[in-house]
Chains A and B, each alone.
Chain A
């Protein structure tokens, strides 16, 4: 992969790529001391977090994170180099980065909408992973219809007082900061929203309560967060009052992989209990699963299903490649806006197929020593619904594609 990617590098990218490769060769972390979860969103213990934070800090200090942000805000001041660092980190099979919401969503939002001094205050420790971030968008009464959030910020002097209830908040139990969509005016649905960053860890027990929620897998990792008269300084408001919806669009665009700034990505480290959700992993599983006189990989129907998955997976990979070939694109957002929908649905169907390949043995879960692959496939399958529901359900994604790309009339 790396050599293929290197072919069209600018001189700056080529030099940076060589630097990354070199650095990773001598600095890639060793075997983790603890079992790592499948994704950053399932980090459950302080031990897991500390190991991953140390990795993120090292990568940031070396210049592999925040490469394309200006130096004034703690970035590397480079041009289109984050992609290069990502390719090299993935190729080197590094651990994933724990501050995933901070890097992917909070950083671009803060960068485009916060005051200069706030950017310089917050972004360096966000990039280094010393301060973990979480996202306060959804509420009990505001899911797909995000703009109906009710958590309210009331002005008091030069401060705001926040009251309300956010849910599905991944990483809130470790987070210092939260990006939050708040209502500042009850008479306008969209124009009554404002966007803030709030320090939640400092206020735990004094205006902020974080309660873990247990997922269908039995894991924790996301939470509900209750605000009870939390005071926040006005300088932590992003953009103008009433512009919260527009700021939230910056966040969501980046969350769905369709934003201007490429987020840092790292991963691929082999861990005895982590596994890759890829078709080739399911093909291996099929080869090692007895079915009748042979293996599941000999079954004509399963072969057909495996190839359907392989084709979808390659299709997404090629979409990402084609999205950078201008002459083969009609609408600039057509491929980027499909990313989240496809990545989450493909992962789901790969995991579903793995469970089907395992057959009756897929009934065995993580605590059972007879479970194939340590029970990871039923876990992955259940976890996959997190991704098809979070960040705008697949149904909402299809609305967005239909309306913004095909130009069909709005459903709302």
Chain B
């Protein structure tokens, strides 16, 4: 199969992206974000989950959480390329919400085929979901899970569950008698304990979730194959979020160095400032182009999706690290303070950088595909 030249990013996709940007510009400024999430600077602060649930409901009513749900399951069936455009805008706004988790769960459930239908219907009717796959060491391959399904119930703990406190549903990977399965679990069910983590990133919440005899609906008996199919879209969307956040970092830093004067000139006059910011732009563009290429592969060239998604997430991770570093450094003293907003994005990007594999991990997997496994 081959990709359409324009990434399949048509008029509907452009409209969605534009309306998302407008939505956040009107309803969720960075002032609002800071006021919402940054009230407690204490490093030892208790785990928190600050978000604008009313705005989230509007977003659900707009249908944005069910965009990736296929039409036959009651959703909109938008291509990954269009969804990436939306996620880029969510990243630009750093809007705290379970959209990414819900989209991730959607792609996993779609890969589950028919057994995933009920769960997809939940998402189509507004449920927010997140993946609970990862063990305490950060590994998410099914063989590494610390959750076990025995005697008809789940036992054990899933770690690093993103935006868990904002979700009604969990998609859990557990070892079974036959191998490894995936289970659709109500977050409020008996035997489920969501224990919030105290994290650096202020724009997300995170938890480890303990299952003690919880009930769940088995949506797949072959987690390995399902995740293999779904992960490229998940990496791609996270990279899209990082690209949007990177654009915010670039734009905000450019504005600052254009106005702040030292030695009688705006900082941006100096090449020691100018050239690194150009490099940030170059890296954002590389990541962005690779994101839409990967998204388009998920839609129309699935045999290449993993390869291109590894490229996108590796590129976005390196970009996020560099954009974050330059955004704080170029702001000088003020950039090192809590009152300057750059730290919000710095922390979000550091979190995203490691989430679902850092750059070196993705390059190693890419090498296995392109060069073949090392002897």
Does A158 lie at the interface of the complex (its beta carbon under 8 Å from any beta carbon of B)?
Answer: no
Does B292 lie at the interface of the complex (its beta carbon under 8 Å from any beta carbon of A)?
Answer: yes
User: Once the chains bind, are A304 and B360 in contact (CB under 8 Å)?
Assistant: yes
The listed residue (A303, A308, A321, A406) touching B278 by CB distance below 8 A is: A406
Smallest CB–CB gap between B298 and chain A, Å?
15
Chain B residues in 8 Å Cβ range of A307: 314, 363-364, 366-367, 370
Stretch at the interface among B7-15, B123-131, B178-186, B335-343: B7-15
Give the number of residue pairs across the A-B interface with Cβ within 8 Å.
Answer: 155
Does B190 lie at the interface of the complex (its beta carbon under 8 Å from any beta carbon of A)?
Answer: no
Does B262 lie at the interface of the complex (its beta carbon under 8 Å from any beta carbon of A)?
Answer: no
Chain A residues in 8 Å Cβ range of B363: 303-304, 307-308, 311
User: Once the chains bind, are B288 and A334 in contact (CB under 8 Å)?
Assistant: no
Does A8 lie at the interface of the complex (its beta carbon under 8 Å from any beta carbon of B)?
Answer: yes
Q: In the complex the two chains form, what is the Cα distance from A300 to B17 in whole Å?
A: 39
Chain B residues in 8 Å Cβ range of A409: 258, 265-266, 268-269
Stretch at the interface among B28-36, B165-173, B279-287: B279-287
Residues of B1-56 at the interface with A, using a CB-CB cut-off of 8 Å, are: 2-7, 9, 13-14, 17-18
Stretch at the interface among A91-99, A110-118, A312-320: A312-320
Residues of A320-347 at the interface with B, using a CB-CB cut-off of 8 Å, are: 321-322, 324-328, 334-335, 338, 341-342
Using known A-B contacts A4-B2, A328-B288, A406-B277, determine if residue A283 contacts B371 with beta carbons closer than 8 Å.
Answer: yes
Smallest CB–CB gap between B69 and chain A, Å?
23
Does A61 lie at the interface of the complex (its beta carbon under 8 Å from any beta carbon of B)?
Answer: no
Does A58 lie at the interface of the complex (its beta carbon under 8 Å from any beta carbon of B)?
Answer: no
Residue of B nearest to A319 (CB): B289
Does B311 lie at the interface of the complex (its beta carbon under 8 Å from any beta carbon of A)?
Answer: yes
Chain A residues in 8 Å Cβ range of B308: 314
Does A29 lie at the interface of the complex (its beta carbon under 8 Å from any beta carbon of B)?
Answer: no
Chain A residues in 8 Å Cβ range of B374: 294, 297-300, 303
Using known A-B contacts A5-B5, A408-B254, A409-B268, determine if residue A318 contacts B292 with beta carbons closer than 8 Å.
Answer: yes
User: Once the chains bind, are B269 and A315 in contact (CB under 8 Å)?
Assistant: no
Residues of B241-270 at the interface with A, using a CB-CB cut-off of 8 Å, are: 250, 254, 257-258, 265-266, 268-269
Residue of A nearest to B369 (CB): A307
User: Once the chains bind, are B268 and A408 in contact (CB under 8 Å)?
Assistant: yes
Residues of A138-196 at the interface with B, using a CB-CB cut-off of 8 Å, are: none
Does B375 lie at the interface of the complex (its beta carbon under 8 Å from any beta carbon of A)?
Answer: yes
User: Once the chains bind, are A318 and B3 in contact (CB under 8 Å)?
Assistant: no
Chain A residues in 8 Å Cβ range of B367: 303-304, 306-307
Does B150 lie at the interface of the complex (its beta carbon under 8 Å from any beta carbon of A)?
Answer: no
Stretch at the interface among A121-129, A198-206, A393-401: A393-401
User: Once the chains bind, are B258 and A314 in contact (CB under 8 Å)?
Assistant: no
Does B290 lie at the interface of the complex (its beta carbon under 8 Å from any beta carbon of A)?
Answer: yes
User: Once the chains bind, are B286 and A315 in contact (CB under 8 Å)?
Assistant: yes
The listed residue (B273, B278, B292, B364) touching A401 by CB distance below 8 A is: B278
Using known A-B contacts A283-B370, A311-B314, A328-B7, determine if residue A321 contacts B289 with beta carbons closer than 8 Å.
Answer: yes
Using known A-B contacts A311-B311, A311-B315, determine if residue A395 contacts B275 with beta carbons closer than 8 Å.
Answer: yes
Using known A-B contacts A311-B314, A411-B269, determine if residue A406 contacts B254 with beta carbons closer than 8 Å.
Answer: yes
Smallest CB–CB gap between B286 and chain A, Å?
3
Using known A-B contacts A303-B364, A409-B258, determine if residue A3 contacts B2 with beta carbons closer than 8 Å.
Answer: yes
Does A7 lie at the interface of the complex (its beta carbon under 8 Å from any beta carbon of B)?
Answer: yes
Most buried by A among B258, B314, B367: B367
Smallest CB–CB gap between B290 and chain A, Å?
6
Chain B residues in 8 Å Cβ range of A321: 5, 7, 289, 293
Smallest CB–CB gap between B283 and chain A, Å?
9
Chain A residues in 8 Å Cβ range of B228: none
Does A402 lie at the interface of the complex (its beta carbon under 8 Å from any beta carbon of B)?
Answer: yes
Chain A residues in 8 Å Cβ range of B290: 311, 314-315, 318
Residue of A nearest to B279 (CB): A398
Q: In the complex the two chains form, what is the Cα distance from A408 to B282 in whole Å?
A: 15
Smallest CB–CB gap between A401 and chain B, Å?
5
User: Once the chains bind, are B375 and A298 in contact (CB under 8 Å)?
Assistant: yes
Q: In the complex the two chains form, what is the Cα distance from A198 to B141 in whole Å?
A: 68
Does A11 lie at the interface of the complex (its beta carbon under 8 Å from any beta carbon of B)?
Answer: no
The listed residue (B14, B268, B273) touching A327 by CB distance below 8 A is: B14
User: Once the chains bind, are B9 and A325 in contact (CB under 8 Å)?
Assistant: yes
User: Once the chains bind, are B5 and A327 in contact (CB under 8 Å)?
Assistant: no
User: Once the chains bind, are B282 and A338 in contact (CB under 8 Å)?
Assistant: yes
The listed residue (B9, B250, B254, B278) touching A328 by CB distance below 8 A is: B9
Does B136 lie at the interface of the complex (its beta carbon under 8 Å from any beta carbon of A)?
Answer: no
Q: In the complex the two chains form, what is the Cα distance from A286 to B375 in whole Å?
A: 13
User: Once the chains bind, are B286 and A402 in contact (CB under 8 Å)?
Assistant: no
Does A367 lie at the interface of the complex (its beta carbon under 8 Å from any beta carbon of B)?
Answer: no
Smallest CB–CB gap between B368 and chain A, Å?
9
Chain B residues in 8 Å Cβ range of A7: 2, 4-5
Q: In the complex the two chains form, what is the Cα distance from A196 to B6 in whole Å?
A: 40
Chain B residues in 8 Å Cβ range of A395: 271, 275
User: Once the chains bind, are B282 and A327 in contact (CB under 8 Å)?
Assistant: no
Does A371 lie at the interface of the complex (its beta carbon under 8 Å from any beta carbon of B)?
Answer: no
Does B274 lie at the interface of the complex (its beta carbon under 8 Å from any beta carbon of A)?
Answer: yes
Chain A residues in 8 Å Cβ range of B266: 408-409
Smallest CB–CB gap between A84 and chain B, Å?
13
Using known A-B contacts A306-B367, A407-B254, determine if residue A402 contacts B315 with beta carbons closer than 8 Å.
Answer: no
User: Once the chains bind, are A407 and B258 in contact (CB under 8 Å)?
Assistant: yes
Q: In the complex the two chains form, what is the Cα distance from A178 to B79 in whole Å?
A: 52
Chain A residues in 8 Å Cβ range of B314: 307, 311
Q: In the complex the two chains form, what is the Cα distance from A16 to B9 in whole Å?
A: 26
Does A10 lie at the interface of the complex (its beta carbon under 8 Å from any beta carbon of B)?
Answer: no
Q: In the complex the two chains form, what is the Cα distance from A409 to B254 in whole Å?
A: 10
Q: Mark each residue of chain B from 98 to 141: 1 if its CB lies under 8 Å from any CB of chain A, else 0.
A: 00000000000000000000000000000000000000000000
Across the A-B interface, the 9 shortest Cβ-Cβ residue pairs: A318-B289, A315-B286, A327-B14, A408-B268, A307-B363, A402-B274, A303-B367, A409-B269, A298-B374
A sample of 22 cross-chain residue pairs with beta-carbon separation below 8 angstroms, ordered by A number, consists of: A7-B2, A7-B5, A8-B6, A303-B363, A303-B364, A303-B367, A304-B363, A311-B363, A315-B286, A318-B290, A324-B6, A338-B282, A342-B282, A398-B271, A398-B279, A399-B271, A401-B282, A402-B278, A403-B274, A406-B281, A407-B258, A411-B274
Besides A342-B282, A406-B250, 18 other A-B contacts (C-beta < 8 A): A3-B2, A297-B372, A300-B374, A303-B363, A304-B360, A307-B370, A311-B314, A314-B290, A321-B7, A327-B13, A328-B7, A328-B9, A334-B285, A338-B285, A341-B282, A408-B274, A409-B258, A411-B274
B: which residues have CB within 8 A of A?
2-7, 9, 13-14, 17-18, 85, 250, 254, 257-258, 265-266, 268-269, 271, 273-275, 277-279, 281-282, 285-290, 292-293, 308, 311, 314-315, 360, 363-364, 366-367, 370-372, 374-375
